[in-house]
Amino acid sequence: MKVAFLRPALLSVALLGLASVSTAQTKVAIIDMREAVNSTAEVKKAVAALEARLKPKQAEGEKLQRELQDLQAKLQSLQGKLTPQAESEMVTQGQRKQRELQRLQEDLNGELEREQNEVGTRALQNMRTVVTKLAEAQGLDAVIDVSNTIYYKPALLITKAAVEAYDKAYPPK
């Protein structure tokens, strides 16, 4: 009877020993992909170039906005003092400026969105390649984006190393 009782206990101890031998330690790292991509020299240069290219259009939009506000203020201050024809002309002028401003804003937004998508998609693909190589070089089993992580030790964060590796692999042109 004692032998029958000891057999399951010995089997459990043997299985526990095998389980601890067969489990390998998993190496995991955390990255903030958004921060990593936005911190690369290539993306910073593209953003600066885009801002410089769009600056004249933005200034034009601000000028149109001021003209429209001035026209509206003038129309309000002269209300009741203008002939119906003069008032109609001012209203028509304001509507034209409003349409012009709206078209300009739509063009700006469209250009900004196209450029962000183009640069962002390319940079994200390149960053994934860099992170994969970095993970392989460091013997990592998994790299997890910080946006999907509840808790992690700061020592696991590889964002800075990824940005440095990216800038080395893909210097801005």
For the stretch 112-164, pLDDT in tens is 999 999 999 999 999 999 999 999 999 999 999 999 899 999 999 999 999 99
Comparing 37 with 80, which gets the higher pLDDT? Answer: 37
Q: Note the pLDDT of residue 80.
A: 82
Query: Is CATH 3.30.910.20 the classification given to domain 21-169?
Result: yes
Q: What percent of the chain has pLDDT over 70?
A: 86
Q: Note the pLDDT of residue 45.
A: 96
DSSP assignment, residue 23? Answer: P
Q: Note the pLDDT of residue 51.
A: 93
Instruction: Assign 48 a pLDDT band (cuts: 50, 70, 90).
Output: very high
Give the mean pLDDT of 1-23: 45
* Separation between Cα atoms, residue 124 and residue 107, nearest integer Å: 25
Instruction: Of 46, 35, 37, give the one whose Cα is nearest residue 173.
Output: 46
Backbone angles phi, psi at 32, to 5 degrees: -100, 95
Cα separations in angstroms, 7 against 14, 16, 121: 11, 14, 61
Does residue 5 register a pLDDT over 80? no
Instruction: Report pLDDT digits (tens) over 71-88.
Output: 999 888 888 888 889 888
Q: Note the pLDDT of residue 79.
A: 83
Name the pairing type of β-strands 28-31 and 142-145: parallel
Task: Please tell me whether residue 162 adopts helix, strand or coil conformation.
Answer: helix
> Which element (helix H / strand E) includes 31?
strand 28-31
Cα separations in angstroms, 79 against 82, 94, 153: 6, 15, 66
Give the mean pLDDT of 50-68: 94
